[in-house]
Amino acid sequence: DNTVAGASVTSSNKTIVEVRNTTGSDIAKGVPVYVSGHSGTKILVAPADADDATKMPAIGLMNATLSNNSNGEVISFGLLTGIDLSTFSIGDTLYIDTTPGGATFGGLTATKPTGETAAIQNIGKVARNVSNGEFIVSGPGRSNDVPNLDDDQFFLGNSSNQAVATDFSTAVQAISIDYTDLSVTTNAEGETAALSYDNTTGTFSFTPVAIDDLIGLEDLSVTTGAASGAGALSYDNTTGVFTFNPADADDLITLTDLSVTTAAAAETSALSYNNTTGAFTFTPVETSDLIALDDISVTTVTDAETSALSYNNTTGVFTFTPVDISDLTALDDFSVTTNSAGTAALSYNNTTGVFSYTPPDLSSYLSNVSEDTTPQLGGDLDVNGNSIVSASNGNIVIEPNGTGLTDIYALGEVTEKIRTRTGVTGSITLDPTEGPVDYITTSGNITVTGFDTPIAGASVTMIISSSSHTVAFDETNSTFYGVDSEDPTLTGLDLIHVFCLDDTTDAEVYIVTHVGGYGSI
């Protein structure tokens, strides 16, 4: 018998409550709901909202999308599958959100809501964080965390034995303190600094020290110079004014005491000072007697062919007569020797004045690259805008040596890697970081166990060159969708694409698609 009074047992891994939706809109699968009322024997539900006390707490999550004015099921405890949990992490504790869900999935958050009006309800944990995820409902029916508390507030018990948010300043004022319990001792002498308290008025009074006993400026000994002309500082006790008498400046040395000697001769530079006007006067040296340019002896050469510099005293002009170059040696005076025809040489024709260059004989050099049976590049190959084209419909083969990879670059970065493996047999793993294209030549049957390091969303395309060998998929620690538990026998060239859907260690999930002779995949 699978019935219990008031409910039916549908599964051993969940507890289900029958409900009805009268909100006017659909409620999506996985949306947390609260009890909004009842209709006959059915509980009415609507999306829960952590920011609204009337819409809390949630009693569970919708087991399926529930249309308006329809009956459905809420999972109040147990396993809910088939909701998108890809934005969360495995083991995340989810809370009812302050933004409720609705016709689309929502209403759950991995962050505790903030603000004093927001209730905090831990509704369960993420068990599988994929688009078709699994969630364990474990916290329905109550807000099960310490409520949020605003700034400068604390919880204080009230007369109903309830904890309520209380403002700190209000709570402090409510506490009665008898200031008469404070012992305040005042000094009997009023002129001594003291603190007193009046129990009647509740007023503190502070009596500062009397300043009459402080030392007065008249107690300072100020000595002034005997002579009024000497610099001194004096103090008037009556007015409290300091007075400074500087020294008599009449006794300072004057400029008239300085001996200033001027040169007797007007043509000699000198500095003079006028005591009456206080002006300095500088008399520069007389320059009329300085040597003139016409005193410079300039010798010119009478021979026009010789370079010379001449100067005209009347006009003040310098004239340069360059050397006569008419008798300089001509190019036809140079002897130019040419070599035999096969050797590079430079020749000159005295009649025409033309230089001729005969390059070396290059007939001994290669005419075609194909003549070199072991060519090597000394640098990068620049195709100069051209293509690498095969002849007679031939293939173009780029094959690295040993375990080397073929890297294809675009814009300075590797855009594709081709991993090459030969003589492969037995169990193998795939590595998308070594090359999303894995060219494999088999020497026997092979079994694929999955990726070296599972990465969700990564894929590897196997290009398999085989001769009647099989490819099997080991599902000991992995799940492969698409292979139908059959091991294909491959002939010729086949392509098998393996896509990682779930990277959970020792439980990864792959999707296998195939292009080639294995038609059952």
Q: Give yes or no for a contact between 124 and 90, defined as CB atoms under 8 angstroms apart.
A: no
Whole-number pLDDT of residue 263? 52
Record the pTM.
0.33
The amino acid present at 29, given as its one-letter code, is: K
- Per-residue pLDDT for 113 more than 70? yes
Q: Give the closest residue to 28 by CA, choosing from 135, 131, 103, 121.
A: 103
pLDDT at 9: 56
Place of tokens 């009478």: 302
Residue 215 binned pLDDT confidence (cut-offs 50, 70, 90) = very low
Q: Measure the CA dihedral 480/483/488/492, to 10°.
A: -90
Q: Give the Cβ contact number of residue 190 at 10 Å.
A: 9
pLDDT for the residue 128: 96
Q: What are the pLDDT digits (tens) for 83-112? A: 999 999 999 999 999 999 999 999 999 999
Q: 150 is written with which tokens?
A: 């605003």
CA-nearest of 65, 80, 71 to 15 is: 80
Model confidence at 212, pLDDT cuts 50, 70, 90, reads: low
What's the rounded Cα separation, in Å, for the pair 207 and 147?
A: 50
Write the single-letter amino acid at 206: F
Q: What is the pLDDT of residue 175?
A: 43
Q: What pLDDT, in 10s, does the model give residues 288-313? A: 655 555 555 556 555 555 677 778 88
Cα(325)–Cα(338) distance, integer angstroms:
29
Q: How many helices (H) and strands (E) does the chain have?
A: 1, 30
Q: Return the higher-pLDDT residue of 337 and 219.
A: 337
487 versus 420: the higher-pLDDT residue is: 420
Residues 446-477: pLDDT tens digits?
999 999 889 888 999 988 888 788 888 888 88
> Residue 222: CB partners within 8 Å, gap ≥ 6?
233, 234, 235
Between 43 and 252, the higher pLDDT residue: 43
Rounded to whole angstroms, how far apart are CA atoms 429 and 450? 5
* Tokens 């410079």, located at residue: 296
Give the model's pLDDT for residue 521: 35
Instruction: Please give the share of the chain, as a percent, with pLDDT higher than 70.
Output: 66
